[in-house]
Amino acid sequence: MPDLAAQRPTWAEINLDNLIHNFRVTRAAVGGGVAIMPAVKADAYGHGAVECARALESAGADWFGVALPEEGFTLRQAGITRPILCLAGFWEGQEESIIAHRLTPVVFRLDGLDRLNQAARNAGCNVDYHLKIDTGMGRLGVQCSELETFLDDTVRFESLRLDGVMTHLASADNSDQSLFTEQQINLFESAVEAVQSKIQSKGHRPRWIHSASSAGALAYPRARGNLVRPGGVLYGLWRDVISPSTEPLGWRPVMSLRTRIVLVKTVQAGTPLGYGGTFVTAHESRIATIAIGYEDGLRRELSNRGQVIVRGLPAPIVGRVSMDLTLIDVSDVVAASVNDEVVIIGSQGERQITAEEVAAQIGTISYEVTCGISDRVPRVYL
């Protein structure tokens, strides 16, 4: 049990052994010759980027993927040494820090390259970048139709080296859209050829070719290139991440979310509970108050809908989830008492609640659930 003696006993347990297990089975599945870039953006999907990256680095991760350069600075300050790719590019003014922290930016705009080139020249060094191609995601990337012109314009950036080419698949988790995905992969392969023939004259070939996140890496071997960028499956999130036609690899959940009972009471039939009295007891009930609310990331949509586990048994959430407190009905958990551990996500005894299940209940995906566990909830690393 974590020592939370002097704090509210609401915590997220992060099982780093399961993270490493997930990394290993994923690496075995994508095969030798393919490097792995765990996505640790968004504080490792709420799991804690520094701790997760440290564990993954010692397990052999080749790269790390962050969204913002700021996330990369944090990893460098924590002593992470593997290459770090800034997946969502960078903002004006961040060029110097990117170079100082040895981050590799993704680039998709000429003005970005121009600024990076100036910063590299000022720093007296050569800087690697990865070029992003938009093959159908429609979000970031140079459009295929503009690639030739774009490449012609990059020749003048003498302090930069195009060391990777990448794209992002929009629907790799959906086998109904496999034609679209195949088309994205085809477009990407042509783009890679165009890049190679164009910059070969500069005596260099991009070393890294990548397009696959979790779903793509598993369902489309051709999309692996020599580097894959899994996020979700490493955190044991897969039921709403990979294609249903992909065989799951025994990934284990990494995060569990736990709290304790603050108060238990017996109330009469007809008692309204919580804000607005949206739940009214049908019969005499035992109601427990638990120390977690929507500020912690227990989503308000779970009001009168969600379920938790107490003493290995299910207990429904009753009334509205409020900011710091929530009510559960423990009428069927005979011995439930103050201080009992309550599992919101995770397992206890034989019973388990996954982040995917919670997500489905509120109409979102598991990533939004784990990313949404707020900073107020301490992470306890196992």
Ligand X SMILES: *Cc1c(COP(=O)(O)O)cnc(C)c1O
Tell me which residues are annotated as active site: 41, 275
DSSP per position, 26-42: HHHHH-TT-EE--B-HH
Least distance to ligand X from the beta carbon of 177, Å? 15
Taking the C-alpha atoms of residue 9 and residue 6, their distance in angstroms, rounded to an integer, is 9
| Residue 232 binds ligand X (CB under 6 A) | yes
Q: Which of 12, 16, 34, 39 binds ligand X (CB under 6 A)?
A: 39
| Cα(176)–Cα(154) distance, integer angstroms | 38
CB of 157 to ligand X, least distance (A): 23
Which CB, 234 or 273, lies closer to ligand X?
234
When the beta carbons of 44 and 327 are compared against ligand X, the nearer one is: 44
Among 105, 112, 164, 231, binds ligand X (CB under 6 A): 231
Q: Report the distance separating Cα 14 and Cα 49, nearest Å.
A: 11
Quote the least distance from Cβ 168 to ligand X, whole Å. 5
CA nearest to 11, candidates 25, 1, 19, 21: 1
Residue 47 interacts with ligand X (CB under 6 A)? no
Q: Which is nearer to ligand X, 45 or 150 (CB)?
A: 45
**Binding segment for ligand X among 9-17, 154-162, 225-233, 260-268 (CB under 6 A)?**
225-233
Position of tokens 């108050």? Answer: 289
- Residue 262 CB, shortest distance to ligand X, in Å, is 35
Stretch 154-183: interaction string toward ligand X, x if CB under 6 A: --------------x---------------
Q: Is 87 in the site for ligand X (CB under 6 A)?
A: yes
Coil vs helix vs strand at 257:
strand
Determine the Cα–Cα distance for residues 239 and 354; give it in Å rounded to an integer. Answer: 9
Q: Is 214 in the site for ligand X (CB under 6 A)?
A: yes
Nearer to ligand X, 166 or 321 (CB): 166
Taking the CA atoms of residue 337, residue 340, residue 343 and residue 346 in that order, the dihedral angle to the nearest 10 degrees is -140
Candidate list 213, 281, 285, 326; residue touching ligand X; CB under 6 A: 213
Minimum distance from residue 13 beta carbon to ligand X (Å): 21
**Sole binder of ligand X in the list 89, 141, 164, 230 (CB under 6 A):** 230
Place of tokens 């988790």: 173
DSSP state letters, 273-314: ESGGG-EE-SS-EEEEEES--GGGT--GGGTTT-EEEETTEE
Note whether 48 binds ligand X by CB under 6 A.
no
CB-closest chain residue to ligand X: 231
If binding means CB under 6 A, how many residues of this protein chain bind ligand X?
11
Helical spans, DSSP H, in the chain: 16-30, 41-45, 49-59, 69-77, 95-100, 110-123, 147-154, 178-199, 214-219, 355-362, 366-371
**Out of 147, 241, 309, 358, the residue judged to bind ligand X by CB under 6 A:** 241
CB of 85 to ligand X, least distance (A): 9
The answer to whether 86 touches 104, Cβ cutoff 8 Å, is yes
Nearer to ligand X, 231 or 306 (CB): 231
Q: Which of 150, 165, 56 is nearest to 112 (CA)?
A: 150
Which helix (H) or strand (E) segment holds residue 128: the answer is: strand 127-134
Residues that bind ligand X (CB under 6 A): 39, 41, 87, 168, 213-214, 229-232, 241
